[in-house]
Amino acid sequence: MLKDGLYELFYRAARSPDGNYQSMLLVLRAGRVLAADPWGGVCMGRVVRNKTSRTYRINVRMLVPAGGMLVTDDTPRTESTEIEIGAEIGDPADGIGQVEIAGQAVNIAFKYQGPIPG
């Protein structure tokens, strides 16, 4: 179960199962999510738990800076891009989930790092 706190979110294009996972820092608080990767990509949105089905609905907007690349392709963006990501994933405690980014499947996994400081 996802609880409020700091997470490392690992992700990799599903079409490259032997590829290395990338990661981003993710903060989850009261269903709101904010995440950032080392290359300037930022995700903001909501995560809602369905208690009956033990699934999570993810609705985030990903901001990719000019020159940034998606994990799903190797083409740098010529200008900043906003991408909507909406997905339903199983309980992250069950292992790897999958979302779709720009029409391509991306495997994701959450690793809890600790509570939000302060």
3-state secondary structure (DSSP) of residue 30:
coil
> How is the chain split into domains, by residue range?
5-114
Say which residues have a Cβ less than 8 Å from residue 14's Cβ, sequence separation at least 6: 98, 104, 105, 106, 107
More confident residue, 115 or 67: 115
Tell me the mean pLDDT in the region 36-63: 92
The answer to whether the Cα torsion of 54, 116, 114, 6 is positive or negative is: positive
Partners of 62 in the beta sheet? 43, 83
Q: Would you say residue 118 has pLDDT above 90?
A: no
Provide the pLDDT for residue 29: 96
**Tens digit of each residue's pLDDT (9 = 90 or more) over 55-94:** 889 999 999 999 888 888 777 788 998 999 988 888 777 7
Q: Would you say residue 14 has pLDDT above 80?
A: yes
> What share of the chain has pLDDT > 70, as a percent?
97
Band (pLDDT 50/70/90 cuts) for residue 114 is very high
